[in-house]
Homo-oligomer: A and B are copies of this chain.
């Protein structure tokens, strides 16, 4: 794509008139963005010394600083290195009605990271695919992504870096990277070009700007931003999904089909399994001891472990989690109870609150209820339109697949009880003063929708039991049985994983 970029040299007076109009338009659009609740992400990538920083400074002049945030991304720090690579970008997601402007973005972590020796070629290629997934998930959720690549020619870059170096005010901005890269212009050119081609999608196309001449570059940037934002706002106002224009798609990435394993429907599960007290105590000790040792090994090998609990109300999730936690060193895990989202969570992509709750590698993250709320309570309570819910099965498989690629073991439990047992437990809770806080009117209302829930749960288990993150159904009419099965499942999975690591 790069060879097609024209270094424009428009008449200055003409540019300044047009710029003025665009800036005014942008200020008006900003209010509409806020009212319509559209989140906008603008990324700036490109050659060293292409003028990303000063272009951002020009862009934000038209914006209200309370509603945008500028974030600068360089090499990941120690904490970021222990998280999935996209984690730091998820962290920064803007709220609806806000702008996020990135001085280098996730694209920095592909070609640049590869050229700086931070990652290998295979990782770079996977990351390019991850980016397509990431951007598609965001735009499907209503995010507008404007991607700017600032292009300068080899001569121009040389001139600029020399100038920066020779000034005492700016010489600190020239990194040793920059010097070395100048010598590799051709190599970078080919690699940037490939990067641009393979991430130029219909939903998040590139705007490549010839930036030798700063004023005309500014004009192109402002035009692209204004156009994208105004199209998005009109679409939102009409209740339509925003599609950028013109339509490019040189990406051609085929989103994978996730291999699922066969699972029984809930109605087929044998709910008569149980354990007697003596057997329970013996096995509890046995598996807790094992788990404690395994945690230590996972810590040493920096394996992230993610344990998810879903299940009927009163199925015994809390008590089950307690038996897992009791086996673990408390400095190495975190339990996250997931309740209804707060305003700041509702204002972002629904996966945001899960991405931001992940513990670093070597640690356990235990979720008491999870992102699967998206495909159960949200459609049933009509909190989310069916159209978005249907997209969630893929989104969730993608999310878990990215966690897996990070190195995580993902263990998902559906804690099952039958309808009679639930009723018995509800009544017991009502009648026991110290348990009464556990039962609410909502629990009774949910119970009335048992059949609908069952349908959605069956569908969820069928569509998201992938080979890398399968569901395990815990027969929970007998709590002891369910606890031992959970412990055993985790132990077996980690043993298997560690065996593989040792090979």
Contacts and interface: CB of A to CB of B under 8 A. Distances in A.
Contacts of A101: 330
A31 B321 contact: no
A56 B78 CA distance: 28
Most buried by B among A31, A56, A321: A31
B342 A70 contact: no
Contact of A337 (B31, B66, B330, B344): B66
Interface in A285-334: 318, 321-322, 324-326, 329-331, 334
A140 interface: no
Contacts of A79: 79
Contacts of A344: 342
Interface stretch (A57-65, A117-125, A371-379): A57-65
Chain A interface category by residue count:
35 or more
A330 B61 CA distance: 10
B61 A326 contact: yes
Nearest to A71: B331
Interface in A45-69: 53, 56-57, 60-61, 64-67, 69
Contacts of A57: 329-330
Contact of A437 (B34, B325, B435): B34
A15 interface: no
A324 B66 CA distance: 12
Contacts of A70: 330-331
A326 B66 CA distance: 12
A28 interface: yes
Contacts of A334: 69
Contact of A60 (B67, B71, B77, B330): B330
Contacts of A501: none
A35 interface: yes
A329 B53 CA distance: 9
Nearest to A60: B330
20 contacts: A31-B434, A31-B437, A34-B437, A53-B331, A57-B329, A57-B330, A60-B326, A64-B318, A64-B322, A65-B321, A65-B324, A65-B335, A66-B321, A66-B335, A66-B368, A69-B334, A70-B331, A71-B331, A101-B330, A342-B342
Interface of A: 28, 31, 34-35, 53, 56-57, 60-61, 64-67, 69-72, 77-79, 101, 103, 318, 321-322, 324-326, 329-331, 334-335, 337, 342-344, 366, 368, 434-435, 437
